[in-house]
Amino acid sequence: MTPPVVELIGVRKEYPGGVAALAGIDLTIQRGELVAIAGPSGSGKSTLLHIIGSLDRPSAGTVRIAGHEVAGLSDRELSALRAQNLGFVFQSFHLAAGASALDNVADGLLYSGQPLRARRRKARAVLAQVGLSDRMTHRPHELSGGQKQRVAIARAIIGEPALLLADEPTGALDSASGDTVMALLRDLNAQGTTIAVITHDHEIAAALPRQIRLRDGLIVSDTRTPMQAGAI
């Protein structure tokens, strides 16, 4: 049986002074899901993102990513786990300013051991997949916000990760560009990519098939919504 992409059991994260950012999280995300993780500022969304993304370790509890229990992994092994299983998309894009869209995306395979020619070949295919065949040689300052985010998504998925983590992916975009990015994420999910969208936007969360809502470091609801044709 294929293990869940994410499995958290009794996960807590405490900071000095007794502040509990996560107060006991049980969460499973299966392959092929499209999930919104929503909640107000201070609810624990960012901490949960860091735990799922293996960017931070929990104070207590069990974390398994793509079947790998992270507790026993060294920092080097965690880096390898991220490179092989996780893709990240951030609100601020995190693109290299002096590099073309093609090379920004090819950098998503930088630690794969593949030669530059092979990485660029795959980057061309992924940029075409996100609708940017005509922007491959453009640098970030020559792209709109929505195009930058599509480049960032292409970079995140070029390694075919088990899970794509999108942190406020529309936060820096106008509504039209945001709708385009969310439509792209839905298309990628329909093609088999498992995606978790971290958002404070209730409308975005409500438009996704599963909504996990956090408050004060706890999951207060976990609901599923049948998708309608034409949804965001």
Q: Name the residue ranges covered by the structural domains of the chain.
A: 32-45+75-224
Rounded to the nearest integer, the mean pLDDT of the chain is: 93
Nearest to 65 by CA among 38, 34, 89, 29: 29
Q: What percent of the chain has pLDDT over 70?
A: 97
The answer, yes or no, to whether residue 148 has pLDDT greater than 80, is yes
Residue-wise pLDDT tens digits, 92-104: 999 999 999 999 9
Of the pLDDT bands very low, low, confident and very high (cuts 50, 70, 90), residue 230 is very low
Residue recorded with tokens 């820096």: 172
Distances (CA, A) of 66 to 25, 79, 112, 189: 18, 14, 18, 17
Structure tokens at 47: 């901490």
Distance, in Å, from the CA atom of 11 to the CA atom of 64, rounded to the nearest integer, reads: 11
User: What pLDDT, on the 0 to 100 scale, is given for residue 231?
Assistant: 45
Provide the 3-class DSSP secondary structure of residue 163.
strand
Residue recorded with tokens 């793509």: 66
Structure tokens at 23: 């107060």
Residue-wise pLDDT tens digits, 30-85: 999 999 999 999 999 999 999 999 999 999 999 999 999 999 899 999 999 998 99
Residue-wise pLDDT tens digits, 160-184: 999 999 999 999 999 999 999 999 9
Distance, in Å, from the CA atom of 106 to the CA atom of 26, rounded to the nearest integer, reads: 36
* Single-letter code of the amino acid located at 88: F
| Sequence-separated (6 or more) residues with CB below 8 Å from residue 127 | 101, 102, 105, 133, 135, 136, 151, 154
Residue-wise pLDDT tens digits, 207-226: 999 999 999 999 999 999 87
Distance, in Å, from the CA atom of 70 to the CA atom of 38, rounded to the nearest integer, reads: 24
- Domain 32-45+75-224 CATH assignment equals 3.40.50.300: yes
What would the mean pLDDT of 107-127 be, rounded to a whole number?
93
User: What pLDDT, on the 0 to 100 scale, is given for residue 19?
Assistant: 87
User: What pLDDT, on the 0 to 100 scale, is given for residue 132?
Assistant: 97
Distance, in Å, from the CA atom of 30 to the CA atom of 124, rounded to the nearest integer, reads: 29
